[in-house]
């Protein structure tokens, strides 16, 4: 399953601009400038309280069209933060769009070539959800890896033949037959590398995505095309494949590298703590003809029935960097 998801998304993202009303889905930065602005202010606040270290680097994983970086960096500059800009991006189609907004950015195929001469301010919005997931299913004979097979000319999920008990967390091995456990070695690898960087270089990181803060069973793999959910196996490479992020599995990885976990909170709660309601009121007063749309965007980003609860914000900081606004002290 992980191989299928990786190959499908590699084809999908390399061949199109998937964002916006004309694409397949809309992300938070495309909904409202407020999202990126508040992220930029959070980063500036962290940098100021850390003593304004230089050089300082802004790093975005999967920066989409570059919209979030434009809004975040614009807000940060008002408080003296003008970092060097680095994008981790593998899609040539999206890189061309990013180049239109960020002529001075430096692009990287992965995290290994990021600079080592100063702290990193890392942002990853709806990046982890597109990384491949591995699925393990409990069969009558034991745990097996979920594979992709072919039947009557159609791709379908099937159970593999090799025993996979060792790959299932010990506290989940006694689950009933039919149970699916989903893991993401790719997400774990990204978190391990990011945390190692922060531990060595200092800085802060925000991971914003939809997912769960506590472990769960079941498949969360889904496909979206033209703003509708479609069959995951119907058209590989032509729809966006994503899965819920298991935030509970990521914090221990980061902590093992010596960084500070600031917490994992619902997106709506985090944005409200940073002042999105006041920002919406200010924008509405400045542009009263757009007031209804501004408040609708604010509700879409923070509402319980929209993105406010399903989406989470996970924060990390280097060992000597301060706590971040919007996060309660983690357990």
How many residues does the structure list for the chain? 331
- 40, 118, 250, 280, 308 from 315: Cα distances, Å: 14, 19, 11, 24, 17
Q: Tens place of pLDDT for every residue, the chain, 331 residues? A: 999 999 999 999 887 787 777 777 789 999 999 999 999 999 999 999 999 999 999 999 999 999 999 999 999 999 999 999 999 999 998 999 999 999 999 999 999 999 999 999 999 999 999 999 999 999 999 999 999 999 999 999 999 999 999 999 888 899 999 999 999 999 999 999 999 999 999 999 999 999 998 889 999 999 998 889 999 999 999 999 999 999 999 999 999 999 999 999 999 999 999 999 999 999 999 999 999 999 999 999 999 989 999 999 999 999 999 999 999 754 4
> Who contacts 248 (Cβ-Cβ below 8 Å, separation ≥6)?
212, 213, 214, 215
Question: Could you tell me which of 188, 189, 197 has the C-alpha nearest to residue 116?
Answer: 197
Please tell me the distance from the alpha carbon of residue 79 to that of residue 212, in angstroms, as a whole number. Answer: 34
- pTM for the whole thing? 0.94
Please tell me the distance from the alpha carbon of residue 56 to that of residue 81, in angstroms, as a whole number. Answer: 9
Question: Could you tell me which of 146, 148, 131 has the C-alpha nearest to residue 236?
Answer: 148
> Who contacts 100 (Cβ-Cβ below 8 Å, separation ≥6)?
66
Q: How many of the other CB atoms lie within 10 Å of CB of 225?
A: 18
Please tell me the distance from the alpha carbon of residue 168 to that of residue 103, in angstroms, as a whole number. Answer: 45
Please tell me the distance from the alpha carbon of residue 234 to that of residue 314, in angstroms, as a whole number. Answer: 33
Please tell me the distance from the alpha carbon of residue 80 to that of residue 48, in angstroms, as a whole number. Answer: 9
């Amino acid at each position: 399953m992980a191989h299928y998801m990786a190959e499908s998304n590699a084809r999908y993202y390399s061949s199109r601009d998937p964002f916006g009303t004309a694409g397949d889905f809309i992300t938070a930065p495309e909904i409202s400038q407020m999202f990126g602005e508040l992220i930029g202010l959070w980063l500036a606040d962290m940098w100021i309280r850390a003593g304004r270290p230089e050089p300082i680097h802004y790093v975005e994983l999967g920066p989409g069209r570059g919209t979030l970086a434009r809004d975040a960096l614009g807000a940060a500059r008002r408080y003296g933060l003008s970092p060097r800009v680095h994008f981790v991006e593998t899609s040539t189609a999206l890189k061309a769009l990013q180049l239109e907004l960020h002529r001075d950015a430096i692009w990287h195929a992965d995290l290994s070539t990021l600079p080592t001469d100063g702290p990193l301010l890392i942002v990853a919005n709806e990046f982890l959800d597109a990384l491949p997931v591995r699925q393990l299913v409990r069969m009558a004979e034991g745990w097996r890896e979920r594979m992709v097979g072919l039947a009557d000319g159609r791709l379908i999920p099937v159970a593999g033949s090799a025993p996979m008990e060792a790959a299932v967390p010990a506290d989940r091995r006694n689950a009933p037959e039919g149970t699916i456990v989903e893991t993401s070695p790719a997400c774990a690898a990204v978190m391990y590398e990011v945390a190692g960087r922060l531990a060595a270089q200092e800085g802060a990181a925000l991971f914003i995505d939809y997912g769960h803060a506590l472990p769960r069973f079941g498949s969360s793999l889904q496909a979206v095309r033209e703003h509708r959910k479609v069959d995951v196996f119907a058209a590989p490479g032509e729809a966006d494949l994503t899965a819920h992020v298991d935030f509970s599995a990521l914090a221990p990885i980061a902590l093992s590298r010596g960084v500070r976990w600031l917490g994992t909170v619902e997106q709506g709660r985090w944005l409200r703590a940073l002042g999105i309601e006041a920002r919406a009121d200010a924008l509405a007063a400045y542009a009263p003809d757009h007031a209804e749309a501004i408040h609708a965007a604010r509700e879409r980003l923070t509402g319980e029935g929209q993105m406010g609860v399903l989406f989470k914000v996970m924060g990390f900081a280097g060992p000597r960097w301060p706590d971040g606004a919007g996060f309660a002290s983690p357990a």
